[in-house]
Amino acid sequence: ARTMLDRSGLPNVFWVQAVESAVYLSNRVSTTSVTDMTPYEAFYGNNPNLGNDRVFGCNVVVKIERHRKKVERNGKYGIFMGYEEHGPIYIAFLADSKTFTKSRNIVFI
């Protein structure tokens, strides 16, 4: 988690999100504590999907899911903070409103 914060250039106030993201990823890679499988596989009985993994702290655009006019922006800029445990849902920090949001509709920059 410390390395993730250092590499992303984010301040230490995001250490909770870095730890959660590190735990999410470490449960999906092989370890010596479980033989011939990942901890995720041992708990759930199936292989984890690693196709949705992204770099912690990268820039994202969260698409707005409301009716908008043609000239309005269709997304908000944010920072990728991690994953929701179930499903391909991402967590992003929106800098302009200083809030966290969960969404499936995220474009990674």
Q: What is the pTM of this model?
A: 0.82
Is the predicted pLDDT of residue 34 greater than 90, yes or no?
no
Specify the higher pLDDT residue, 48 or 1. Answer: 1
Report pLDDT for 102: 92
Structural contact between residues 12 and 64, judged by C-beta atoms closer than 8 angstroms = no
pLDDT in tens, 3-18: 999 999 999 999 999 9
Sheet holding 106-108, edge to edge: 99-103, 90-94, 75-83, 59-63, 106-108
Of 36, 33, 16, 12, the closest CA to residue 24 belongs to: 16
Report pLDDT for 79: 96
Rounded to 5 degrees, what are φ and ψ at 80?
A: -70, 130
CA–CA dist 84, 87 (Å, integer): 7
pLDDT in tens, 52-102: 889 999 999 998 766 666 656 678 999 999 998 777 899 999 988 999 999
CA–CA dist 97, 72 (Å, integer): 17
Amino acid 102 reads K
Question: Which tokens in the block code for residue 90?
Answer: 């991402």
Report pLDDT for 71: 58
CA–CA dist 58, 44 (Å, integer): 29
